Amino acid sequence: MSPAWPTRARWRQLAPALLPALNLTLALALSAVVILVVGEHPLRALRLLATGAFGSAEALGYTLYYATNFVFTGLAVAVAFHAGLFNIGAEGQASIAGLGVALLCLGAGGWPTPLVVVAAILVAGAFGAGWAFVPAWLQARRGSHVVITTIMFNFIASAVMTHLLVNVLIKPGQQSPETREFDANTWLPQLHEVARGLGVDIGRSPLNLSALVALAAGALVWCYLWHTRWGYELRVLGHNEAAAVYGGIAPARVVIVAMSISGALAGLVSLNEVMGVQHRLLMNFAGGAGYVGIAVALMGRNHPAGIGLAAILFGALYQGGTELSFDMPALTRDMVVVIQGLIILVCGALEHALRRPLEALVGRAPAAERA
């Protein structure tokens, strides 16, 4: 080992933050190649994207509104990840939770808003957890792989929702498959309205109370994973199943609990979309947020603080991507999916690829810091 110079030691301290930043840059560079292939200018696209996402108070509001969804799904994926499980079913869990929230809102016409909100959080969590419970149980008790079953449950959820919206819940005398609009007392307060009540103008955007729920969820997940016995059990199982069994932890129970919590978190997406913005149940309202959650969790190193930052990044990509597609019609919203996939590839599967060159540059972090 060469002697650690002060500058190298300084860099080494920064390495945990440096690596995701480097990986992100690499993923964006790969995306730039795709943009070039399509025949657009990558730097101009990046500038349009950034202005679209952060250029005004409204734009920032939209970015944070998308980020709210991704915090929920990112936390969902991360909790499962810590238990050694890969929950690809957040999309389905969110849409089934939306069904629960919609049924509640349709029936809660005369309730006071705070009561509806509390009930909706519980219902969204319960429906999401319920939809995750079956794959979890199958994994824990029957050994069928949770990755495949959660994917299948996404397809099944989509079929169930289509059936219910087309044949059962559709507003009579209407073509598009969606429910009637909920009564106004069941809508989540928009933050720009709250701010205007306090004398502040933050621009009109769909950002609503669920953003605060997302912050609270992040804090709760942090407490749960690192400051409770159950969180400890969950992480031990994820690190080493043999050690967990030896330590008296029942893997089957932890798997089921972890997946249920994961599903409940994913279910909270419906607060933002169904109660906060659309005020009715639509098809595919989750809009791919479940899959974005995978990227968000990986980018955020499965830590709530990191997930918050990564969610804002992806919120910016979604919002900026929408603006971008107006100016560059060749770059449809699908470009965001490409960037998302490349980020998962580079930050997730290839996370070690840049570690070694980086360590060669700044020296290895001590083993204790690397965990």
Which DSSP string corresponds to 182-222?
PPGGGSPPBHHHHHHHTT------S-BTHHHHHHHHHHHHH
Stretch in the footprint of another protein (CB under 8 A) among 16-24, 94-102, 222-230, 329-337:
329-337
**Amino acid, single-letter form, for residue 148:** I
* Beta bridge partner(s), residue 190: 208
Sole binder of another protein in the list 14, 17, 36, 353 (CB under 8 A)? 353
266 binds another protein (CB under 8 A): no
Binding mask 75-104 for another protein (x = CB under 8 A): -----------x-x----------------
Taking the complex as a whole, the smallest distance from the CB of residue 33 to another protein amounts, in Å, to 11
255 binds another protein (CB under 8 A): no
183 binds another protein (CB under 8 A): no
Q: For residues 267 and 76, give the distance between their C-alpha atoms in angstroms, rounded to a whole number.
A: 9
Comparing C-alpha atoms, which of 255, 278, 258 is closest to residue 266? 258
Sole binder of another protein in the list 24, 32, 152, 170 (CB under 8 A)? 152
Taking the complex as a whole, the smallest distance from the CB of residue 301 to another protein amounts, in Å, to 13
Q: For residues 186 and 204, give the distance between their C-alpha atoms in angstroms, rounded to a whole number.
A: 20
Q: Which residue has the tokens 């509390």?
A: 118
Q: What are phi and psi of 190, to 5 degrees?
A: -80, 140
Stretch in the footprint of another protein (CB under 8 A) among 43-51, 273-281, 300-308, 326-334:
326-334
Sole binder of another protein in the list 9, 14, 159, 250 (CB under 8 A)? 159
Taking the complex as a whole, the smallest distance from the CB of residue 74 to another protein amounts, in Å, to 14
Instruction: Give exposure, 150-182, as e/b (b: 16+ Cβ within 10 Å).
Output: bbebbebbbebbeebbeeebbeeeeeebbbeeb
Intra-chain end-to-end CA distance of the chain, in Å = 21
**Amino acid, single-letter form, for residue 273:** E
Sole binder of another protein in the list 96, 344, 358, 362 (CB under 8 A)? 344
Taking the complex as a whole, the smallest distance from the CB of residue 220 to another protein amounts, in Å, to 26
360 binds another protein (CB under 8 A): no
Q: Are the CB atoms for 128 and 267 separated by under 8 Å?
A: yes
Stretch in the footprint of another protein (CB under 8 A) among 94-102, 148-156, 268-276, 304-312:
148-156
Nearer to another protein, 174 or 332 (CB): 332
Helix (H, G, I), strand (E, B) or coil at 2: coil
Tokens encoding 65: 């509104």
195 binds another protein (CB under 8 A): no
Nearer to another protein, 76 or 339 (CB): 339
365 binds another protein (CB under 8 A): no
Comparing C-alpha atoms, which of 29, 38, 71 is closest to residue 324? 38
Chain Cα centroid distance, residue 337 = 14
340 binds another protein (CB under 8 A): yes
Nearer to another protein, 162 or 228 (CB): 162
Comparing C-alpha atoms, which of 5, 202, 184, 179 is closest to residue 100? 179
Interacting positions 19-38 with another protein (CB under 8 A): 34, 37-38
274 binds another protein (CB under 8 A): no
Q: For residues 132 and 8, give the distance between their C-alpha atoms in angstroms, rounded to a whole number.
A: 46
Q: Are the CB atoms for 302 and 82 separated by under 8 Å?
A: yes
How many alpha carbons lie under 13 Å from residue 32 in its C-beta half-sphere? Answer: 12
Interacting positions 276-315 with another protein (CB under 8 A): 291, 294-295, 298
Binding site for another protein (CB under 8 A): 34, 37-39, 86, 88, 134-135, 138, 142-145, 147-149, 151-153, 155-156, 159-160, 162-163, 166-167, 291, 294-295, 298, 330-332, 334-342, 344-345, 348-353
